[in-house]
Amino acid sequence: AQSVTQLDSHVSVSEGTPVLLRCNYSSSYSPSLFWYVQHPNKGLQLLLKYTSAATLVKGINGFEAEFKKSETSFHLTKPSAHMSDAAEYFCVVSVYGGSQGNLIFGKGTKLSVKP
Amino acid sequence: NAGVMQNPRHLVRRRGQEARLRCSPMKGHSHVYWYRQLPEEGLKFMVYLQKENIIDESGMPKERFSAEFPKEGPSILRIQQVVRGDSAAYFCASSQAPGTSRYYEQYFGPGTRLTVT
């Protein structure tokens, strides 16, 4: 069965410092993995996705994530945080691997950015 | 190029009333998904539909909840006889049909926040 664990419920960084949001997954199939961002009272926006191509995935707004099969991890990083990055971030695995199906969400990590 | 539209954005219902949530997928998308987000939780899958067909409803509560995606018009998530525990944000997502390169990419709407009083 597929599952996702986000290791931190809350991360706080200072503006201009690196961001690391951790995610571990469990999947019986070759997984498709995603990071979504949700700003307060808004819908979810896809940041980036991994679907068995390059293991280092670049997304929007300077975010990237690396798929590490040996560690079953898909951590999200950004070299320099911006105030506008403050939001909730969800690590997501697709139930059916690379094909269609429902998504399983982690519980989310709230990112705070201090000036 | 309009994204996924949901309405209403906020809905208040008294216990025992019915709630109807609407979702219009992105242009060119034929698959719709509904998710529920309870406070302090991630989103939980409810149901996956294509036009006139429910593909996967494994996340739907057995009673009071139903979903449809008719040939014409938006997808509807219907909750009958609402209870306080139904208060949540309900998100709709849509994707393209099988066989296209972006098949697996789901685009989310802004959500409907249901409050049951």
pLDDT per residue over B60-99, tens digit each? 999 999 999 999 999 999 999 999 999 999 999 998 876 6
Residue B49: count of CB within 10 angstroms of its CB: 25
Contact between residue A76 and residue A69 where contact means Cβ atoms under 8 Å apart = no
Q: Is B98 on the interface with A (CB under 8 A)?
A: yes
pLDDT interval class at B100 (50, 70, 90)? low
- Give the tens place of pLDDT for each residue, B30-45: 899 999 998 877 889 8
Q: How many Å lie between the alpha carbon of B17 and the closest alpha carbon of chain A?
A: 25
| pLDDT score, position A7 | 94
The whole-angstrom separation of Cα B92 and Cα B96 is 14
Looking at chain B, which residue has its C-alpha nearest residue A96?
Answer: B104
Please report residues of A whose CB lies closer than 8 A to that of B44. Answer: 105
pLDDT interval class at B28 (50, 70, 90)? confident
Residue A110 scores a pLDDT above 80:
yes
Please report residues of B whose CB lies closer than 8 A to that of A23. Answer: none
3-state secondary structure A41-98: CCCEEEEEEECCCCCEEECHHHCEEEEECCCCEEEEEECCCCHHHCEEEEEEEECCCC
Q: Which two tokens stand for residue A31?
A: 């997984």
Q: Is the peptide bond before A115 cis (omega within 30 degrees of 0)?
A: no
What b/e string do you get for A75-102 counting C-beta neighbours within 10 Å, with b at 16 or more? bbebeebeeebbbbbbbbbbbebbebbb
Q: Considering chain A, what is the average pLDDT of its residues?
A: 89
At which residue do the structure tokens 């067909």 appear?
Answer: B53
Per-residue pLDDT, averaged over A67-86, amounts to 95
Write the CA distances from A110 to A47, A80, B16, integer angstroms.
15, 17, 34
The whole-angstrom separation of Cα B103 and Cα B100 is 5
Q: How many Å lie between the alpha carbon of B107 and the closest alpha carbon of chain A?
A: 7
Contact across the interface for A103 and B48, Cβ inside 8 Å: no
pLDDT interval class at A97 (50, 70, 90)? very low
Would you call B65 helix, strand, or coil by DSSP? strand
pLDDT interval class at B52 (50, 70, 90)? very high
Looking at chain A, which residue has its C-alpha nearest residue B58?
Answer: A102
Contact between residue A93 and residue A25 where contact means Cβ atoms under 8 Å apart = yes
Would you call B85 helix, strand, or coil by DSSP? helix
The whole-angstrom separation of Cα A38 and Cα B40 is 13
Contact across the interface for A99 and B107, Cβ inside 8 Å: no
Please report residues of A whose CB lies closer than 8 A to that of B4. Answer: 43
pLDDT interval class at A93 (50, 70, 90)? confident
Helix or strand holding residue B92 (H, E): strand B88-95
